[in-house]
Amino acid sequence: MKLLTLNCHSWQEDDQFAKIKILAETIQEKSYDVIALQEVSQSIKSEIIDGQVKKDNFARVLLEELKKLGNTDYQFVWDFSHIGYDIYEEGIALLTKHPIEKTTSFFISQSENTEYWKTRKIVGADIHIEDDTFSFYSCHLGWWGDEEEPFKQQIDALCDKANGKEKYFLMGDFNNDAHIKGEGYDYLLSKGLYDSYSLSKEKDSGITVAGKIAGWDKNKRDLRIDYIFSNFPVHVQYSSVIFNGENKPVISDHYGVEITI
């Protein structure tokens, strides 16, 4: 099983369509089973195509690019978290080429006001892969020291929902650096979660953010804040950072993480 997570910073990138093409070509090449994307935006004023999905929804545009490559295997689920940059509906998405048995979305922030940028929502799906069903959640969380929207409370809410599932994966941008002790990363592990990076037989640095980005305006360090967690021990063959300029071109302000189980 191959998994990918990426905060795609959609519609904020220079040469955005060229970067979508790189992402589509990589999906075509790697044939991921499940992909979790964060900051998956669409214009507020864009035309509605299906349900709440609009014409310029980043995930929809990505699937259209895949179709140009002859790949019609993938479907996606998406939901809207909050307004971004005053003109976008920013959300999260899951893509898969396997049968989806059930989908869900739910708030994990105290706020459910979609006009507030700290409002956080999770998208989940039960996906049937190789005679088994796994639950996947695309996650974009807040910061440890945030007094308005505490990370700890968001993780508690997320795990309360996910713990009803036998086997699940939490994939995404957790906005908490693994190198800082006694904060968000350690709290995640205290919930009984397994970090696929730590379980992996082969791995690289794991760094997914280099320097200053939105939400980390004063950062000068390399950060590991994008993860794939599971609630059960998995045999991870390798964990690799991707779209970092060494393993594929940079396409976002975050690098992605891919694993093979």
Q: List pLDDT tens digits, range 43-89.
A: 999 999 999 999 999 999 999 999 999 999 999 999 999 998 889 99
Q: List pLDDT tens digits, range 223-237.
A: 999 999 999 999 999
pLDDT at 216: 54
pTM for this structure? 0.96
Distance (Å, rounded) from C-alpha 84 to C-alpha 118?
A: 10
More reliable by pLDDT, 155 or 222? 155
Residue 251: CB atoms within 10 A of its CB come to 25
Amino acid at site 73: D
Reduced to 3 states, what is the DSSP secondary structure of residue 196? helix
